[in-house]
Amino acid sequence: MPLLLAAARPCAQLLVPSAAGAVLGRPSTARPLGRGTRRGASAVASEKTVVKAEEEEGGGEYDAIVVGSGIGGMVAATQLAAKGARVLVLEKYVIPGGSSGYYRRDGFTFDVGSSVMFGFSDKGNLNLITQALKAVGHKMEVIPDPSTVHFHLPDDLSVLVHREYDDFVTELVNKFPHEKEGILKFYGTCWKIFNSLNSLELKSLEEPLYLFGQFFQKPLECLTLAYYLPQNAGDIARKFIKDQQLLSFIDAECFIVSTVNALQTPMINASMVLCDRHFGGINYPVGGVGGIAMSLADGLVDKGSEIRYKANVTNVILENGKAVGVRLSNGKEFFAKTVISNATRWDTFGKLLKVEELPDEEKNFQKNYVKAPSFLSIHMGVKGSVLPADTDCHHFVLEDDWANLEKPYGSIFLSIPTVLDPSLAPEGHHILHIFTTAGIEDWEGLSRKDYEKKKELVANEIIKRLENKLFPGLQDSIVLKEVGSPKTHRRFLARNDGTYGPMPRGKPKGLLAMPFNTTSIDGLYCVGDSCFPGQGVIAVAFSGIMCAHRVAADIGKFRFH
């Protein structure tokens, strides 16, 4: 798609909650976000979080400082707080959540990023978001999604991923009857891995005692996981499937969670999401995805720890080579036994740590992984009449050519969360959250006027494509439209170049090269999507749980059961 116009500064409005007074972590709009309930209490809105403004005095040394309140950071913080650690979360923005945050505009509550919530069911061991909330006494009301995503692909291939695995497989086999055996074997292998993972109590893979214990209790499951750890979904698919279109479909299955094709997607990551969506199902939190981070922040404070917003960490303070605290942009310093960075690794090692030379393991990481592109996002409010009555919540659109799958602006992600939760929009209206991959280089060096013009042009092209493919009359139904570029993502999500996360430079050895939580700097840990096992809410929650376990073991103060 020719996208040749120019850009200037990011749209300052996108991603800003409609809250002038949000410094205290509490969006000012009166309507509660989410309906998180504390055990035993009824309908406690998560906006009650009592937090300190960054300006207020803190006290003494903390067990851990967490830089950033994305889901990875919040899960690590709350897991530690639940075990009695004293934690301080420092968030640059005005509310928690990062890419899983929200903002409000004119009666619409928009998810900033994630809308397809994996790991959010009430069963198994991989419902890590549910478990993280429970650890601090919270539970959110959810709406089960009858499907995960509706694919609209080249050659009019349309596949709805049903909540029920058998319905999904039946639909796929009907489209590819000659590949029935291959389909069953590929997804069957995913289940083998998922069931192994799901049978373990997930903690830090860097903690030998835990690993030893798990191996002793579940040797078969551990060996299964070890076998698939260095493998990629594309290679396994090719063992069982020959049809090129079906292999391309599996690429699309992987792309929607990892922004790379199946050959570049570790089999363990693919299995987690391709099975969790059927095992526990995709469940949408009432009130919007932002309620999850808000509820975790509430839980953190309930457990005696702290979260401060508008707290821009500029330095990790080192003493004799050990991380001992952080400095904010206003010069204020905080000290702790450990520092956990939820910023991307590029930000952590490129900005927060002022070391003369990048540690070898970071050099290796940067050799193996590059920054995935960012996104062009369009948040829209539309008249409800434009959507057919049976419209699914999530869609993925790639019109004519499989070769465009990974190209910038090539494919379109679309979420319509109001299909599940109408309370997110004024009556008679829907939300359309549309996004497509885009690189920051396409948006740099433009005058403000050209930048705004380019956003308008690109957004209109994407909307026109959706109008042609799915919803005739879409343009005329728009009542609100806000467009964010990769620069918007960089600015408001504090992510290097607005990146979605690490993307393997070539074909990875499965998950083998992904760094864990510890770093080569004593006392400094990383958490979130640039750590094992990678991007996506379920993965960063896993990273948070592993990180907290490792930190707790290192502090030697808290027992993890």
Binding site for ligand FAD (CB under 6 A): 67-73, 90-93, 98-100, 113-116, 118, 311-313, 342-343, 347, 375, 377, 435, 493-495, 500-501, 528-529, 535-537, 540
- What b-and-e string marks burial along 34-62, b requiring 16 or more CB atoms within 10 Å of the CB? bbbbbeeeeebbbbbbebbebeeebeeeb
Query: CB count, 10 Å around CB of 360?
Result: 9
Q: Is 182 helix (H, G, I), strand (E, B) or coil?
A: helix
Minimum CB distance to ligand FAD smaller for 182 or for 280? 280
> String of b and e for 206-237 (b: at least 16 CB within 10 Å)?
bbeebeeebeeebeebbebbeebbebbbbebb
Q: Are 9 and 483 in contact (CB under 8 A)?
A: no
70 or 124: CB nearest ligand FAD: 70
First to last CA, the chain: 53
The residues pairing with 112 across neighbouring beta strands, listed in sequence order, are none
User: Cα–Cα distance between 25 and 165 in angstroms, integer?
Assistant: 40
Cβ of residue 394: shortest distance to ligand FAD, in angstroms? 7
Strands 369-371 and 502-504: antiparallel
Residue with structure tokens 């919270």?
138
Beta-bridge partner residues of 70: 97
Instruction: Tell me 47's DSSP state.
Output: G
CB neighbours (10 Å) of residue 306? Answer: 23
Closest distance between ligand FAD and the C-beta of residue 240, in Å? 26
Nearest CB to ligand FAD, comparing residues 184 and 480:
480
For residue 14, what are the CA distances in angstroms to 91, 320, 335, 463?
18, 42, 33, 18
Please state the closest distance from residue 544 (CB atom) to ligand FAD, in A: 7
Residues 6+ apart with CB under 8 A from 483: 11, 14, 376, 377, 378, 455, 456, 458, 459
Spatial separation of the C-alpha atoms in residues 195 and 188, rounded to whole Å: 10
Give me 160's structure tokens. Answer: 């709805």
CB of 273 to ligand FAD, least distance (A): 7
Q: How far is the CB of 277 from ligand FAD (least distance, A)?
A: 10
Q: How far is the CB of 100 from ligand FAD (least distance, A)?
A: 4
Q: Contact 488/377 with Cβ under 8 angstroms?
A: yes
| CB nearer to ligand FAD: pick between 250 and 272 | 272
- Residue 373 CB, shortest distance to ligand FAD, in Å, is 11
Q: Which is nearer to ligand FAD, 183 or 420 (CB)?
A: 420
User: With respect to ligand FAD, which residue has the nearer C-beta, 100 or 224?
Assistant: 100
Q: Considering the complex, state which of residue 29 and residue 314 has its C-beta at the smaller distance from ligand FAD.
A: 314
CB 443, min distance to ligand FAD, A: 15
Quickly count helices (H) and strands (E) in the chain: 16, 23
Query: Rounded to an integer, what distance in angstroms lies between the CA atom of residue 504 and that of residue 366?
Result: 9
Min. distance of Cβ 376 from ligand FAD in angstroms?
A: 10
SS3 546: helix
CB of 190 to ligand FAD, least distance (A): 17
Indicate the residue among 183 and 438 with the shorter CB distance to ligand FAD: 438
Closer CB to ligand FAD, 179 or 421, in the complex: 421
Nearer to ligand FAD, 33 or 183 (CB): 33
Q: How far is the CB of 21 from ligand FAD (least distance, A)?
A: 19
Minimal distance, residue 115 CB to ligand FAD, in Å: 5
Q: 313: which strand partners? A: 328
Q: Which is nearer to ligand FAD, 267 or 313 (CB)?
A: 313
Closest distance to ligand FAD from the beta carbon of 497 (Å): 13
Q: Rounded to whole angstroms, how far apart are CA atoms 425 and 263? A: 39
Which residue number, 179 or 497, has a Cβ lying nearer to ligand FAD?
497
Task: Give the span between the Cα atoms of 154 and 80, in whole angstroms.
Answer: 47
User: Which of these, 269, 133, 117, 129, lies nearest to 197 by C-alpha position?
Assistant: 269
Residue 458 CA: distances (Å) to CA of 112, 113, 446: 19, 19, 15
Residue placing its CB nearer to ligand FAD in the complex, 182 or 504: 504
